[in-house]
Chains A and B, each alone.
Chain A
Amino acid sequence: MKVELTVNGKDITADVEDRMLLVHFLRDVADLTATNIGCETTSCGACTVLLDGESVKSCTVLAAQADGHSITTLEGLASDSGEMHPVQKAFHTEHGLQCGYCTPGMVMAIVSLLKENPSPTEADVRSGLEGNICRCTGYHNIVQAALVAAASNTVSSNTVSSNTVSSNTVSSNTVSSNTVSSNTVSSNTEAGK
């Protein structure tokens, strides 16, 4: 069937099999390969994108269901002038990625999370990411990145790309680690419910 999706601001029309998953539409039709596939059971979150501004697992949405809707992937997150979104920046400064495979899904999940909860606690971030699996980082720096991005206070709730005051710190002062000894973030974590 014919579907028309707006992906990262661009309209894409294609004739696809009814069974085509949104993630394959994005990767193979729209040729945006940042979004990755990590499982078949909607468990890992690597395929997370924004559908009408909300995080969804694109492996569990049909392209047909997304017909007429707007999708944002990692590739569409930076501003038109190429400036990284605060979440992307925070991942960079906080070393929130290693192999990079889970990263697009993590970033999009956090963008959505911060839109809905602009000042999350560490526990909010951790439970908000329970549907995103990372094997490399142990999540510590991913959580840091989310909190740093939130604290940078430039995440707009209406648009995905924000007007950022450049947070030009290599190691930010608010919640990330100091260089000398321990890396303590509030450890009153309600890990699991």
Chain B
Amino acid sequence: MSILGTRVIRTEDPRLLTSGGVYVDDLREPELAGAVRATFVRSPVAHALITGIDTSEALAQPGVVAVLTVADMTDMPDQVPPEPLPEGSPPPEGPMPLGGVWSEPLLAVDRVRFVGEPVALVLTDSTYQGEDAAELVSVEYDQLTAVPSIDAALTGETLLFPEAGTNVCTKGLGDISDDSIFDGCEVIVEGDVLNQRVAVVPMEGRSTAAAWVNGKLTVWTSTQNAQIARLILTAIGLPPDAIRVVAPDVGGGFGAKIGVDRESIIVAWAAKHTGRPVRWVETRSENLVSMTQGRAQQHHVKIGGSKDGHIKAYRLDVVQDTGAYPRMSGFLPMLTNLMAPGVYDIPAVQAAYKVVVTDGTPVAAYRGAGRPEAAATIERAVDWYAAEAGLDPAVVRKLNFIRPEQFPFVTKTGAPYDTGDYESALDKVLDAAGYAELRAEQQRRRDAGDTKQLGIGLASYVEITAADAGAGETAKVEVHDDGTATVYTGSSAHGQGHHTAFAMIVTAELGIPMDKIEVIHGDTDLIPDGIGTYASRSLQLGGSAVQKAAIEVKDEAAKRAAELFEAAEADVVLDAETGIWHIAGDPDKSLTWSQVASAADEGLIVANVRFTADRPTFPFGSQLSLVEVDVETGKVTLLRHVTADDAGPVLNPILLDGQRHGGIAQGAAQALCEEILYDDDGNPLTSTLADYAAITAAELPSFELLRSETPTPVNPMGVKGIGEAGTIGATPAVHNAVIDAVSHLGVRHIDMPMTPERVWTAIQQGGAKKVSAE
């Protein structure tokens, strides 16, 4: 029996559980001996001109090695802005900064655009001296009017980038002007949905250490992709082969640690500039104001259909708040538009987006990156429509699902869904939750006027994984003359358990036991070419690459075995369970991997591959949230959360479920309690973990996970990605549940997060609709 599909506990764990992970701040590499500590001086104001920086008092403090500002960066090559796009070009939609007039500096030059923007860098002998000295760097700010919100940005009264003439930095080409798609719709609902700004909160913040030794810069950084980080670091004026990037243990990333951002580039430059090794570990307060944040979209939505539940038309208009610098061009809302219609076969779909800058923290990828926003809104819209039509939301979903026989299915927005069985996933969840009994209990409580009302929320979702399938992933597999194997992967685990998963793939192909397989990632000296871990791509691309390399190793080994057996290659057989080579039909002759590898050149059998797929894959599922709402206070308690998330065949149920759990928690958190807030002057109000309500175990139930495995034809293992799916489904499930709990009181919509006060306020206003229906 193959090891694939079985529960294998992680090979990563014994070390992590006994001596602990080794994150950047734990590194004791000899090159970092005597490293100075980096402390950033950051802007305390949201929008201002910098009129002076006085570093003299700071320089006089004990242990201060240097205080660096943009003025010191004369040894950096000029950052050449990209050529302006020719007239009529489509908008930039890649996950790359817009550049041009929207360019983001490293250390601030002459103005700051968000509280927390780095202005100067203090290097001290010890950590404790850092904050002391940084406090004494004196920066003069000439404050400008803040642009603290999307609404403020859209007025254009204050421009963050005056040269640009607008705060709208890019927009999509989608046309939403034709209202005739709603002609003939008997039921139409229109309204606004906020997908609020949230913080990523990896438990380890950003951290980077760098050492410049003998013309080579080594950078250890908490990243999701060492190779891409290296490319970005060439900005300091070094070619890639003069830079080595190492990802040590990484304490969570969730999309916000893709590559490296400006602070890490500054730290790497500082190491080269001063000739001293430098280590930077951000504090949580820094993390909550200057690590990229997520979501931050405002939607205007219109949905229309027939009285009997068939959706005919859907329009989604997205405004993306990208914060002070457009680091991802139109990438996020482009994905939101792409996934707008979700799991439904809707005849007419319109989607548009525009991106505005505001003086908040820059926004970038966060678990789901554009897709949670799409699902959150279509699932609200379907509930609005169901409520208006007087139909059960489960019934409406089923009436409109894309049916299994319609796959592969290209949506009206151009998304090429590979496989799916949406109704089956919903049925599983309804059945496991006991939907009819829950509705009955809900009705009983409504009739009795109970203080604690029950809410049942459904979410059916589909999402796009490995959106950059064509970039693929690399893998090198080596079998050594002692029978052990080494896997080098371009993927870059930061908690996902790839070492276990990829070793399982090698074991399945080659029969080499797990404890004889080492998996290596995240070092550009060892793996110069790789893409990394984000977009839920690692198993379908990285794992497929490992499988491909293992198969090539097996084919090469078969040749060696044939030579040793003095037999025909076609007669040579590998028993993948035992890892023993035989001749077919001759049980007396056998060879071990050690023997076969020893016979190869240099005692090594190796295959180095890249695996690419020709398109992304589309995992899907349904989730049901059961909540209790105290109608006197608005307090929400999550009672149950039942999911059927389908990402194809399951390699290791333990790893799969772990990703689902983590995703569900972050999704529920957005619905329930997390939000980044600013005051009218752009000052952050949620810049510590005391104020930013990161969800804890006390707010969550245990989850009920159902299995569903619909393969994809896109890769040999048939697998899709699960990393973000849990989050995408959980937010709308919880959101819908809370509103469902108080819908009998006239509530039609509540914006996230559904804090007690928001829920209570909605109940008070019950009947004062926030959505309009025709």
Contacts and interface: CB of A to CB of B under 8 A. Distances in A.
Interface of A: 17, 19-20, 24, 27-28, 31, 33-41, 43-44, 46, 74-75, 77-78, 84, 88, 91-93, 95, 97-104, 107, 122, 125-127, 129-144, 170-171, 177, 179-187, 189-193
B700 A139 contact: yes
6 contacts: A20-B128, A43-B690, A44-B203, A133-B694, A191-B638, A192-B699
B420 interface: no
Contacts of A137: 658, 661-662, 665
Contact of B698 (A44, A77, A91, A126): A126
Given A43-B688, A43-B690, A100-B12, 16 more contacts: A33-B22, A33-B25, A41-B689, A46-B203, A93-B9, A95-B658, A100-B495, A101-B204, A104-B20, A129-B698, A135-B662, A136-B252, A136-B658, A140-B665, A143-B702, A183-B705
A19 B707 CA distance: 53
B180 interface: no
Contact of A19 (B10, B16, B128, B204): B128
Contacts of A143: 697, 702
A138 B128 contact: no
Contacts of A39: 284, 688-689
Interface of A is mostly: loop
A191 B9 contact: no
A122 B702 contact: yes
B421 interface: no
A135 B496 CA distance: 12
Nearest to B655: A95
B20 A34 contact: yes
A97 B661 contact: no
Contact of B7 (A17, A170, A181): A170
A20 B663 CA distance: 37
**9 pairs of A and B residues whose beta carbons are closest in the complex:** A34-B20, A101-B251, A99-B495, A138-B665, A98-B495, A138-B661, A43-B689, A100-B16, A139-B697
Contacts of A33: 20, 22, 25-26
In this complex, the member of A37, A131, A132, A190 whose beta carbon has the largest number of chain B beta carbons within 10 angstroms is A37
A107 B669 CA distance: 23
A125 B22 CA distance: 28
Contacts of A40: 283-285, 688
Nearest to A133: B694
Given A33-B26, A34-B20, A84-B18, A44 B284 contact: yes
B252 A99 contact: yes
B570 interface: no
B254 interface: yes
B532 to A, nearest CB: 15
Contacts of B494: 99
A130 B698 contact: yes
B657 A177 contact: yes
Nearest to B627: A191
A186 B704 CA distance: 10
A44 B283 CA distance: 13
Interface of B: 7, 9-10, 12-14, 16-23, 25-26, 28, 127-128, 201-204, 249-252, 254, 283-285, 432, 494-497, 635, 637-640, 642, 653-655, 657-658, 660-666, 688-690, 694, 696-707, 726
Contact of A139 (B9, B250, B665): B665
Contact of B702 (A91, A127, A185): A185
Given A95-B658, A170-B9, A192-B699, A181 B21 contact: no
Nearest to B285: A40
Given A39-B689, A138-B703, A192-B637, A101 B698 contact: no
Contacts of B653: 179
A138 B249 contact: no
Nearest to A123: B698
Nearest to B281: A37
Contacts of A78: 18
Given A99-B249, A181-B707, A91 B204 contact: no
Contacts of B689: 38-39, 41, 43-44, 133
Nearest to B652: A95
A166 B638 CA distance: 36
B19 A75 contact: yes
B23 A187 contact: no
Contact of A182 (B699, B701, B704): B704
Contacts of B706: 181-182
Nearest to B659: A98
Nearest to A186: B702
B10 A92 contact: yes
A191 to B, nearest CB: 5
A88 B17 contact: yes
A190 B497 CA distance: 31
In this complex, the member of A127, A138, A182, A189 whose beta carbon has the largest number of chain B beta carbons within 10 angstroms is A138
A165 B48 CA distance: 65
Contact of A95 (B10, B432, B700, B705): B10
In this complex, the member of A77, A98, A127, A134 whose beta carbon has the largest number of chain B beta carbons within 10 angstroms is A98
Contacts of B665: 137-140
A138 B698 contact: no
B66 to A, nearest CB: 22
Given A92-B13, A92-B17, A136-B495, A191 B637 contact: yes
A131 B662 CA distance: 18
Contact of B696 (A17, A103, A129): A129
A100 B251 contact: yes
A36 B9 contact: no
Nearest to B22: A33
B550 to A, nearest CB: 24
A95 B657 CA distance: 9
Given A99-B204, A184-B704, A132 B658 contact: no
A95 B660 CA distance: 13
A154 B702 CA distance: 25
A59 to B, nearest CB: 10
Contacts of A140: 661, 665, 700, 702-703
Contacts of B697: 125-126, 129-130, 132, 134, 139, 142-143
A95 B654 contact: yes
A185 B697 CA distance: 14
A98 B688 CA distance: 24
A186 B694 CA distance: 24
A75 B203 contact: no
A119 to B, nearest CB: 18
B23 A36 contact: yes
A192 B495 CA distance: 28
B7 A171 contact: yes
A29 to B, nearest CB: 12
B250 A97 contact: no
A98 B662 contact: yes
A177 B642 CA distance: 14
A99 B658 contact: no
Contacts of B663: 138
A177 to B, nearest CB: 7
B753 to A, nearest CB: 14
Given A91-B13, A99-B204, A187-B640, A135 B497 contact: no
B698 A17 contact: no
Given A33-B22, A134-B203, A136-B252, A98 B698 contact: no
A144 B496 CA distance: 19
A137 B662 CA distance: 4
A28 B638 CA distance: 41
A141 B658 contact: yes
A129 to B, nearest CB: 4
B358 to A, nearest CB: 25
B20 A38 contact: no
A107 B701 CA distance: 20
Contacts of B22: 33
A20 to B, nearest CB: 8
Contacts of B704: 182-184, 187
B29 to A, nearest CB: 13
A74 B249 contact: no
